[in-house]
Amino acid sequence: MGTVVKVALGILLALVLLIVGCAAIIGIGAGLEQPGGGDDTGLEDSGGGGGGDASKRSPQKTRRFSGNGSKNIGTIKVTDDAVLTFRNPGDEIGGSLFIVTDQDFKINVNSQGKRGSSVLEPGTYRKVDVTANGDWTMTIKAR
């Protein structure tokens, strides 16, 4: 297959993933999203962080998510300043693409890198969607 054809296919795949991600954000195309594990199962303590009276709050949990392609991971509650880190080696056709958004656009990660990070402020992030090429992992941990 020629280089021009491979590049064209890569661009086409990236556009399709972007359209599917946007459709998921605005609620079009029910059934395209895979319900995920937004529950607090399998989480570990990462310390109190954030100052204030730690005895009145539960400690920030480290959350780990993984998948292949698009996935809705549900609601994420962040009690202290946190860092979202990700790894996404991508795939052979479209390369690396990693997008994370929530219903209120408080999370907005859009990367073509194989890894990266973004700061999250305390809050509740609803309907968190990940759109990626290939396998990916994402961790949210207190700063």
pLDDT in tens, 40-84: 323 333 333 344 444 455 667 899 999 999 999 999 999 999 999
d(CA 128, CA 82): 16
Six-digit token pair at 16?
């399709």
d(CA 133, CA 20): 12
d(CA 141, CA 143): 6
Contact 115, 87 (CB under 8 A): yes
3-142: CATH, from 1.10.8, 2.60.120, 3.40.1620, 1.25.40? 2.60.120
d(CA 17, CA 94): 10
Q: What is the pTM of this model?
A: 0.59
Ordered by start, the domain boundaries in the chain are 3-142
